[in-house]
Chain A
Amino acid sequence: MTETIKYTATEELAELFTQNREMYEEGCPGFMNRVRSDALEKFVKAGIPSRKNENYKYTDLRPVFQNDFSVLPRYVQQQVDLHEMFHCDVPQLNTHLVLLINGWYYGHNRKIGQLPDGVVLGSLNHVAREHPHLIEKAYNQLAGKSDDPIANLNTAMAKDGLFLYVPDNVTIDKPIQIVNLLYAKENTFAVQRNMFVLGKNSEATIVFCDHTLNNNYYILNNLSECFPEEDSRFNFYAVQNMHNGAVNNTHFFADLKARANLHTNTLTLNGGVVRNNLNIKLKGEYAHADLNGLALADEEQHIDNFIAIDHSVPNCTSNQLYKNILDEQSSGAFTGRIHVLRDAQKTEAYQRNNNVLLSETAEMNTKPQLIIDADDVRCSHGATVGRIDEDALFYLRTRGINEKEARLMIMFAFADEVLSQVNIKVLRQRLEELVNRRLRGELGPCQSCSFNRRN
């Protein structure tokens, strides 16, 4: 007989929240606190997802939450200067740099350089209290409709995170780099809540970098709601580089207005269990979403990208390109759900998922889902799971290129198709460099910090 594990984390988390409810509500405006109960109820009802949950068919999150960890309903002062301690590999870029720590806006962030007039960039909690009018109406409008238990758990426990507001007709030239650090004395479950509001015809670029600064067990539950208004352009890059015992759980919700343009690129370099949810709704005509992802995994890493994109109105376009290179015992999953609603004529929606398995034991599950209720649409999807092309390898070797280098060339070429979508040249070059080093096995979860993989 197999021993059955009883997963109790759902109840324990609910209990933990209820007991500390005062602390969770403390310092938050009413509009944040009012949605907590409902969200918690939804979380408890669905429970931490197992494979029985259709959307989590390839990722059982129950074992992940079964570990012991602390939660942080209050900001914890850091004993060290995080700027001193941390140097991310991605910068050397000319960016506005902002640090977050365990889901909280870091209290000693250095002054952010000159931003255009009217731009608000800072702590969500702070802005919610000081400028509630910027947040109140939109807060939880997207996540609140979700039945994802982890998204609901985020809403129940959310206190802080990043907030960005770009007024109409304003362009922020420099990318804004947000470094999400995980650093605590004990195992920690961190909740981070972000909001990006892009006024009409505005433009901004965010680069998220997730890092663990020591080998404790971390679960990051990181939820972003994004509101690109008419004609706005928003680029969202995520570089995920947590250690291989850590859990990264991200949610990105966006409702695009007419002619808004959203570009995302999720680069997963390290991390134990990574689940990225993208929920995109194209709600204004001629809106465009371009969603890309690249994951490089080995050891026992598990990476699951789950995308749901709704074409609600006519003439919108979307494009998904996701790739995985999986080695050793790692596993990957991809779900790309495209829903074209009845009125969304002249939709163009494309999707491609290509995967390379480098070992016999690596595993990939890929599942396109097209639900098309309109008749005048152009949709396509394609998925491949393969191995390194041995003929290509031989061809390169017959020209004098050694096997290792030839393999790297082929893998890099495969990966680079995703990176080539990054439209900021310096960032693209930095990411290419990181991927190259990762493929060569020269990149730990964070190159600059001495902390390396969890054993």
Chain B
Amino acid sequence: MLQIKNLHTSVEGKEILKGISIDVKPGEIHAIMGPNGSGKSTLANVLAGHEKYQVTEGEIIYEGENLLEQAPEERAKNGIFLSFQYPIEIPGVSMVNFLKTAVNEHRKHKGQEPLSASQFLKLMEEKKKVVEISSQLTNRSVNEGFSGGEKKRNEIYQMAMLEPKLAILDETDSGLDIDALRVVAKGVNALKSPENATIVVTHYQRLLEYIVPDYVHVLYDGKIVKSAGKELALELEEKGYDWIKNES
């Protein structure tokens, strides 16, 4: 589904990703862990198509096509979803208008008719229940004045609305209370299918108890220094990163 091959990325002339290779197959869940500043969000942003990050070497193939040639909106419509580590506030753009435009763009791409206002509201209600988000939030401007946890919940809400094939969750669990964590897991697991895949960036083993990964990769200084099964997360929680740094 997704092949990242020897990916090198720099931002403002500074190399951040220094040769990353990951192969994600349909149905898999990959966890990416690693110390602050190691490049996890950079990788997530490159996958979503942020123009600030320049790919200097390597390639990314998504469903057989060169992902790097696609604009962010095309990637989204082709099924990639990024849950931002720091979701952006957009004053004045209402959640309803935003989501309606997004959902209908996705539908147009699939050759489906746009949803009518009432159909759309029904969909919103339905998904609201899944992620237990309140109407008080969905009646506001996108993320404006949302608390940290509310923003994360809103990311999962959008994911539920857009039903991506490949979800990339960048520290969606940070700053969440236990209930919200459960909701995030519920949202992710609801999408789980043999065709879909998930990449979870996290610092904590906790989330991985709910979203059980097939692989855990450790990113350190722009490189993947270790990949293993889910037990690696536990080991990291106990021992920290130093032993791996030494290993590499």
Q: B81-92 interface mask toward A, CB cutoff 8 Å, 1 = contact, 0 = none?
A: 110100111111
Is B224 part of the contact surface with A, judged by Cβ < 8 Å? no
Q: Which residues of B contact A396 (CB under 8 A)?
A: 90, 93, 98, 102
Contact B73 A392 (CB under 8 A): no
Q: Which residues of A contact B90 (CB under 8 A)?
A: 389, 392, 395-396, 409-410, 413
One of A395, A401, A403, A414 near B92 (C-beta < 8 A): A414
Chain B residues 79-134 with CB under 8 Å of chain A are 81-82, 84, 87-93, 97-99, 101-102, 105-106, 109
Q: What is the minimal beta-carbon distance from B93 to any residue of chain A, in angstroms?
A: 5
Contact B77 A400 (CB under 8 A): yes
Q: What is the minimal beta-carbon distance from B234 to any residue of chain A, in angstroms?
A: 32
Is A397 part of the contact surface with B, judged by Cβ < 8 Å? yes
Is A54 part of the contact surface with B, judged by Cβ < 8 Å? no
Cα distance A355–B51 when bound, in Å? 25
Q: A382-417 interface mask toward B, CB cutoff 8 Å, 1 = contact, 0 = none?
A: 000000010110111111111101100110111011
Q: Which residues of A contact B82 (CB under 8 A)?
A: 398
Cα distance A371–B141 when bound, in Å? 36
Q: Which residues of B contact A398 (CB under 8 A)?
A: 48-49, 72-73, 75-76, 81-82
Cα distance A410–B94 when bound, in Å? 10
Cα distance A412–B97 when bound, in Å? 12
One of A391, A397, A402, A410 near B93 (C-beta < 8 A): A410
Q: Which residues of B contact A394 (CB under 8 A)?
A: 48, 50-51, 72, 88
Is B162 part of the contact surface with A, judged by Cβ < 8 Å? yes
Contact A397 B92 (CB under 8 A): no
Is B158 part of the contact surface with A, judged by Cβ < 8 Å? yes
A400 with B91: in contact, given A395-B84, A409-B98 (CB under 8 Å)? no
Contact A413 B73 (CB under 8 A): no
Q: Which residues of A contact B72 (CB under 8 A)?
A: 394, 397-398
Cα distance A72–B3 when bound, in Å? 75
Q: Which residues of B contact A416 (CB under 8 A)?
A: 92
Q: B29-59 interface mask toward A, CB cutoff 8 Å, 1 = contact, 0 = none?
A: 0000000000000000000111100000000
Q: Which single residue of chain A is at the shortest CB-CB distance from B103?
A: A400
Cα distance A312–B142 when bound, in Å? 41
Contact A401 B97 (CB under 8 A): no
Contact B141 A400 (CB under 8 A): no
Q: Which residues of B contact A409 (CB under 8 A)?
A: 90, 93, 97-98, 101
Is B190 part of the contact surface with A, judged by Cβ < 8 Å? no
One of A392, A399, A417 near B76 (C-beta < 8 A): A399
Q: Which residues of B contact A392 (CB under 8 A)?
A: 88-90
Chain B residues 118-159 with CB under 8 Å of chain A are 141-142, 158
Cα distance A398–B82 when bound, in Å? 7
One of A389, A401, A403, A414 near B101 (C-beta < 8 A): A401
Q: Which residues of A contact B101 (CB under 8 A)?
A: 401, 405, 409
Q: What is the minimal beta-carbon distance from B149 to any residue of chain A, in angstroms?
A: 18
Q: Specify the main secondary structure of chain A where it touches its partner.
A: helix
Is B178 part of the contact surface with A, judged by Cβ < 8 Å? no
Q: How many residues of B contact A (CB 8 A)?
A: 32
Q: Which residues of A contact B105 (CB under 8 A)?
A: 400-402, 405
Contact B102 A400 (CB under 8 A): yes
One of B73, B75, B84, B88 near A401 (C-beta < 8 A): B73
Contact A399 B158 (CB under 8 A): yes
Contact B92 A402 (CB under 8 A): no
Contact B141 A399 (CB under 8 A): no
Contact B93 A413 (CB under 8 A): yes
A400 with B92: in contact, given A395-B84, A409-B98 (CB under 8 Å)? no
- In the complex, which of the residues B50, B77, B93, B109 has the most CB atoms of chain A within 10 Å of its own CB atom? B93
Q: What is the minimal beta-carbon distance from B163 to any residue of chain A, in angstroms?
A: 11
Is B71 part of the contact surface with A, judged by Cβ < 8 Å? yes
Contact A399 B50 (CB under 8 A): no
Cα distance A395–B88 when bound, in Å? 7
Contact A400 B109 (CB under 8 A): yes
Contact A397 B73 (CB under 8 A): yes
Cα distance A416–B109 when bound, in Å? 29
Q: Which single residue of chain B is at the shortest CB-CB distance from A405?
A: B101
Q: What is the minimal beta-carbon distance from B129 to any residue of chain A, in angstroms?
A: 21
Contact B158 A413 (CB under 8 A): no
Q: What is the minimal beta-carbon distance from B159 to any residue of chain A, in angstroms?
A: 10
Cα distance A392–B99 when bound, in Å? 14
Cα distance A416–B92 when bound, in Å? 7
Cα distance A387–B75 when bound, in Å? 25
Cα distance A174–B210 when bound, in Å? 61
Cα distance A389–B82 when bound, in Å? 19
Q: Which residues of A contact B97 (CB under 8 A)?
A: 409
Contact B49 A397 (CB under 8 A): yes
Cα distance A341–B97 when bound, in Å? 45
Q: Which residues of B contact A412 (CB under 8 A)?
A: 92
Cα distance A21–B101 when bound, in Å? 62
Q: What is the minimal beta-carbon distance from A414 to any residue of chain B, in angstroms?
A: 6
Q: Which residues of B contact A403 (CB under 8 A)?
A: 71, 73
Cα distance A425–B39 when bound, in Å? 50
Q: Which residues of A contact B106 (CB under 8 A)?
A: 400
Q: What is the minimal beta-carbon distance from A347 to any residue of chain B, in angstroms?
A: 28
Q: Which residues of B contact A395 (CB under 8 A)?
A: 84, 87-88, 90, 142
Contact B98 A399 (CB under 8 A): yes
Q: Which residues of B contact A410 (CB under 8 A)?
A: 90, 93
Cα distance A416–B72 when bound, in Å? 26
Contact B76 A400 (CB under 8 A): yes
Cα distance A22–B39 when bound, in Å? 81
Cα distance A113–B121 when bound, in Å? 42
A-B contacts, 12 listed (Cβ < 8 Å):
A392-B88, A396-B93, A396-B102, A397-B76, A399-B102, A400-B76, A400-B102, A400-B105, A401-B73, A403-B73, A406-B73, A412-B92
Which residues of B come within 8 Å of A, CB atoms?
Answer: 48-51, 71-73, 75-77, 81-82, 84, 87-93, 97-99, 101-102, 105-106, 109, 141-142, 158, 162
Nearest 8 A-B pairs (CB), nearest first?
A: A413-B92, A400-B76, A397-B72, A399-B102, A395-B88, A400-B105, A413-B93, A397-B73
Which residues of A come within 8 Å of B, CB atoms?
Answer: 389, 391-392, 394-403, 405-406, 409-410, 412-414, 416-417
14 other contacts beyond A395-B88, A397-B49, A412-B92, with CB at 8 A cut-off? A389-B90, A392-B89, A394-B51, A395-B142, A396-B90, A398-B75, A399-B99, A400-B162, A401-B73, A402-B73, A403-B71, A406-B73, A410-B90, A413-B93
